[in-house]
Structure 1
Amino acid sequence: MVLKNTGEFGIDTASLMYEIGSLSGKSEPQLGNIAAHNPDLPDTVAPGESLEFRIFATAYEDEALYLVISV
């Protein structure tokens, strides 16, 4: 997944991962998996920068995750 910060302020990456987990219904231990599989995540995403990270499917191969994130 690629997210681009088009706002005027930096985005805290940990807060962003929490919001993604909240939208997808994932629990905090599963959020740790996002960070574990993406060890190079920066602490913040500056305005105009993009953040690329991997989200792993749950038990169902055909399960998709659709997100709308506003900051």
Structure 2
Amino acid sequence: MATVTCQTQDFIVELPSQEYEVVSYRYLNGFSICQISEETQRPIGTITKQLSRAVHRMREIVAELER
């Protein structure tokens, strides 16, 4: 499991609740996509889309901070 910095945690908590939930399961707790799908009772496609949106959102935040 990757080390999460305090700054990264700040970005994660700013995400919309469903994105926060899947990012937390995936990157903070090491769940697989299938495990997240089972835990949240959401389709796998929904989980992957929420993760994709969350990563994109966090990249935008970092890019804005670097300006």
- Quick check: TM above 0.5? no
The structure showing larger relative contact order (alpha-carbon pairs under 8 Å, at least 6 residues apart) is: 1
